Amino acid sequence: MFADRLAQLVATRVDRPAAIAEAAARRTRPAGITGTRGRVMMVAADHPARGALRAGTRPMAMADRGDLLERLCIALSRPGVNGVLGTADILEDLLLLGAIDGKVAIGSMNRGGLAGTVFEIDDRFTGYDAATIAAMNLDGGKMLLRIDPDDPATAPTLEACGNAVTALAAHRLVAMVEPFISHRVDGRIRNDLTPEAMIRAITVSSGLGATSAYTWLKVPVVDAMERVMAASTLPALLLGGEVPTDPATAFESWHKALQLPTVKGLVVGRSLLYPPDDDVAGAVDTAVNLL
């Protein structure tokens, strides 16, 4: 049945591209990002636009767009899931599939720092901008901020993120910032996940833009989360990261961090969309139960 829906989606893109804007205009938006439960359970799918297709042991897991969309539709249909984060191509596919009505929809903004490239830290805004996010009836924008002390490309990325926070706030839309301190090791960018590095990243990102009124943080679970999350009063969501070899351990770490006062939910992608047993519904339901 999903193959039929996918075929219709492709036909619509070919014959009636204006249907995307029409679907966005009539989409019912939720009253707020946290929903009726005061918690966020969001599925992330902006990885392919950076060329990051790996999930666990599968190097090309996210390369099949039809399979990815089917997994997203399963995840979004589960009780307690109230949002999705993606690039324009993915959110527009989901709009045409009717999968995000009433859900929080966050557009991914800077995808220029392609994975594994020499210019990865120069994370330019090649996706959504604030004006388009507002015009497309979305609920906010997300940006990745990797701060490499040894890479001068960090400075323009910082400036671009600050401008995006200001522009989103002018539309009263959520600015979701995902900050890291990063270093190049053997030619590859590695995020520093020590508590001290995350504290520094959070304090820098919290001060971006002309106002922090609409800024949320998207952070990994690291050691000493109580101390890390004490670095800011901004609301935060936990990210899932790579597919864990031991999902039970990952779920337990999320559960502990969710008890902290500023942590309001989860934004998880590959860990839920590509679990080791391929039971997307089961993985999503387990994560929802943590809330």
- What tens digit of pLDDT does each residue of 105-147 get? 999 999 999 999 999 999 999 999 999 999 999 999 999 999 9
pLDDT value of position 45: 95
Give me the mean pLDDT over the 21-41 stretch.
Answer: 92
Report the share of the chain in percent with pLDDT over 90: 90
Greater pLDDT, 215 or 187? 215
- SS3 of residue 84 by DSSP: strand
- According to DSSP, residue 17 is labeled T
Scanning the structure block, which residue is given the tokens 């989360």? 225
Terminal C-alpha separation, the chain: 32
pLDDT value of position 243: 60
Scanning the structure block, which residue is given the tokens 């999320």? 254
pLDDT value of position 251: 84
Give 37's pLDDT tier (boundaries 50, 70, 90): confident
pLDDT value of position 291: 86
Question: How many other C-beta atoms can be found within 10 angstroms of the C-beta atom of residue 285?
Answer: 16
H helix count then E strand count, the chain: 11, 9
Please give the tally of structural domains in the chain: 1
Give me the mean pLDDT over the 89-112 stretch.
Answer: 97
Give me the mean pLDDT over the 135-160 stretch.
Answer: 97
Q: Which of 54-63, 117-126, 150-159, 247-256 has the lowest mean pLDDT?
A: 247-256
Average pLDDT, the chain: 95
Q: Which domain holds residue 175?
A: 2-290
Please answer whether residues 157 and 168 qualify as being in contact, where contact means their C-beta atoms are separated by less than 8 angstroms.
Answer: no
The per-residue pLDDT for range 226-268, each reduced to its tens digit, is 999 999 999 999 998 666 667 778 888 899 999 999 999 999 9
Greater pLDDT, 35 or 181? 181
pLDDT value of position 100: 96
Question: How many other C-beta atoms can be found within 10 angstroms of the C-beta atom of residue 179?
Answer: 25
pLDDT value of position 13: 98
Distance of alpha carbon 218 from alpha carbon 40, whole angstroms = 12
Distance of alpha carbon 32 from alpha carbon 7, whole angstroms = 33
Scanning the structure block, which residue is given the tokens 């500023």? 262
CATH number, position 258:
3.20.20.70
* pTM of the predicted protein model: 0.95
Tokens of 261: 């006062």
Report the share of the chain in percent with pLDDT over 70: 98
pLDDT value of position 246: 73
Q: Report CA 80 to chain centroid distance, whole Å.
A: 17
pLDDT surpassing 90 at residue 72: yes
